[in-house]
Structure 1
């Protein structure tokens, strides 16, 4: 069945050879009746078909199907803005809507250039900020570089990774010192004058880069550099926002307040919506922004309704605490597995964002990670490979996952690791 769609729908092969039929929170079912625990995505914080989101959409779909915020706001459009202002860690925030995280990141960078009247953006190796314009230019992975516009006003610095320090028994903050010294010694004053740096854009943790979670001091140092140079600090929370890390937003783990924050994915309950929060009056004279909307369908009526229901569900069901507890449940088992399997060298993350990294003969192993991925698939758990070497399995269940479902997932992970251990031992 899936092959018949390729000529008209798919331009590249999907991650899994299944056709999804339906889902409920952390579970999905395929057209042929197979059930999976979904640890593969982060686009839906609540998972699939959360009752509160579904009922809210049903209630509103007969009122308006879509009305452009460029013309006039709807009531959910306005209410959502107030709700976002109440939860974002951005002082006196103004909110603008977009349709996707890529659009929101692109706009955040445009605005930084506009309000600072500066041209240069600093991003980080391993980052992923989207597939459009400036967002694409700020995502310096190999595949992205092939299609990104060739513009010289985006510079890159190392993103701190604690695993090399851990493997070499070095002090934990060495990776932070490396990154910050690179910025201060090789970029500012050499590659760009301080007065030309418009913004630093950074993720609280890198998902695409391999579930890399730097020490808090890294973000505190970036805040200091932003203050000293007058550049804006943009934090990309498209992946990490809305409870996934055990807090509303990932940057809250680090005690840093950004000037601009980008949101998307999990905020829509499964519908496409994104937003940008700007500190104070940064947004006021941005002439491209009309009514807080960045495009015809930005802040779409039904997406705003779904987003309001998502925020309500997170609050009422105490899902941020659930993400934290389920994350601790998972991470404690993953740490134990690291001690038991020689090809599993690290586990890391927070809340419902976890990763396990695989090595073979002292080097990153895409092959072993791929074996684990398919062993998980065969046992009913969806997870994907990420990282520069594709040797990290990303484990990102929705924050609605139950204790029992997490226990099931842990058993599947253990069985899969045992299977890979057996195959490697027998040389199959």
Structure 2
């Protein structure tokens, strides 16, 4: 069949976050490993890992086999019934994530929906606690209403649904305004390259975390704040790992005010940083963990994982969240197979090894190219931040220019058209997020192409 399905798709499907008159999708014939093969004979390296979803690469045989086997049994039933993969995955996630194994898991189909569940659960948990313990246990207890505020950070993206977008600081939040949901407050980032306080680590004494504590106080303390919601490593807004003592301090603050700490591992989960979860690098236990994207690999799946104390809140109180296809057996079977592959094929240690190799190569590019202001990353989650001037750190794409054509989008176009490497064009730096199965020769191929592409940014340096 020689039908031009790219034209059909462009003519009848809306592309995400894009003006539609420029939509020209490439026709894909097949995918394999880290590569996309197009109908016109091109072989393209996917350096954004299919929206960070295919950590094991395309078409991993064990995952596909597990999905095929499950399709012959049961694909989906409601949660009034139990299926083996759904039950086993819930148990496994409860045991392999930080903290007590007596956790409970709610399954959805996207990270955004998992975030919605986390926010609702945090608020319901605080309401249930207030009802049980009495208002006198809360600060400002005689003021309406119960603890409901969520403190998140400006450089964050938690999803496109109402609550998730309202919690986000990403410019995509602006599309929803002025109809954002109430009860969300944005704080400073743990962004050492561009410290919001103009300080340097470690002499800053974690001013970014300490300011969040001040925000909690001014927002009503335990009487009004339900939770702090953060990405362990900021994703779409710059791939920003925090200082090593940031999360221990944040955990200490949340414990002091008796509010919940929610970590959004949608991008960083399933081995992306060299550990199953990025929060494991920081040695703390969150109250709620969000997983998505690569969890189901080839089948949409996300999980909201509640600590024992949060889960117990719903033993006798209704958990007010639901979704069609929750606990989807086919997706859960895929996720179980993915977790087995991570262990059997030593993917985490490979990610750590390749992450060191990639980091060294990218730092060599920084030494060569004056437009590279910073190289940041953890595991196989890296970015090159490009600037006009290293001294002033003036960016080559400003926050307000997310969807404006700049040299960042020019580099993305060049890499795709001339070097057969696909990266997103809407990030604030150069996205270097390969599948976790990437090999050294593929990293060399990527770095060689980036070396040439960065000349476009160097030409703008002053």
Instruction: Show structure 1 runs of 4+ deviating over 6 A.
Output: none
- Residues 258-312 of structure 1 deviation map (CA, whole Å, 9 limit, x = unaligned): 011011111112210111111114224435549xx94220221110110011001
Q: Secondary structure at the match of 2:280?
A: helix
1:123 aligns with 2:160: no
Map of 1:201 onto structure 2? 229
Equivalent of residue 49 in structure 1, options 43, 59, 62: 59
- What is the CA-CA distance between 1:133 and the residue it aligns to? 2.9
Pair 1:21-2:60 in alignment: no
Q: Distance in 2 between matches of 1:109 and 1:266?
A: 21
Structure 2 partner of 1:381: 421
Give the alignment partner of residue 121 of structure 2, picking from 111, 126, 129: 111
Alpha-carbon separation, structure 2, partners of 1:38 and 1:288: 43
1:289-342 deviations in Å (ceiling 9; x for gaps) = 49xx94220221110110011001110000011111111111101111111111
CA RMSD of aligned residues (A): 2.4
Partner of 1:215: 243
Distance 1:174 1:16, change over 3 A: farther
Map 1:115-154 onto structure 2 (within 5 A). 115-117=125-127, 118-147=147-176, 149-154=179-184
Is the CA contact 1:161–1:212 (under 8 Å) kept in the aligned structure 2? Answer: yes
TM-score, normalised to structure 1, is: 0.90
What CA distance in whole angstroms lies between the structure 1 residues aligned with 2:113 and 2:284?
Answer: 24
Structure 2 CA distance for aligned equivalents of residues 66 and 268 of structure 1 = 14
Q: Structure 2 stretches of 5 or more lacking a match?
A: 128-146, 398-405
- Structure-to-structure mapping, 1:279-298, within 5 angstroms: 279-286=307-314, 287-289=317-319, 294-298=322-326
How far apart are 1:132 and its partner, in Å? 1.7
Of the candidates 179, 184, 201, which is equivalent to residue 208 of structure 2?
179
How far apart, in 2, do the equivalents of 1:138 and 1:262 lie?
Answer: 14
Output the CA distance in 1 between the equivalents of 2:460 and 2:184: 43
Q: Does 1:82 align with 2:91?
A: yes
Distance 2:80 2:207 in 1: 49
Distance, in Å, in 2 between the alignment partners of 1:67 and 1:130 is 26
More off after superposition, 305-314 vs 81-90: 81-90
Instruction: Write out per-residue CA displacement over residues 16-49 of structure 1, whole angstroms, 9 at most, x where no aligned residue.
Output: 7423332112111122221111111311211211
- Aligned position for 2:134: none
CA contact (8 A) 2:155 2:169 kept: yes
Shift of 1:369: 2.1
Task: Provide Cα deviations, 1:106-158, integer angstroms capped at 9, x if missing partner.
Answer: 10111111111221111110111112232121112232133154343111101
Number of residues of Structure 1 aligned to a counterpart in Structure 2: 416
Matched position secondary structure for 2:115: helix
Q: Indicate yes or no: 2:220 matched with 1:192.
A: yes
| Structure 1: segments with no counterpart, 5+ residues | none
Q: Equivalent residue of 1:384, what SS? A: coil
2:10 and 2:24 in contact (8 A); partners too: no
Pick one of 266, 272, 276 that aligns with 1:244.
Answer: 272
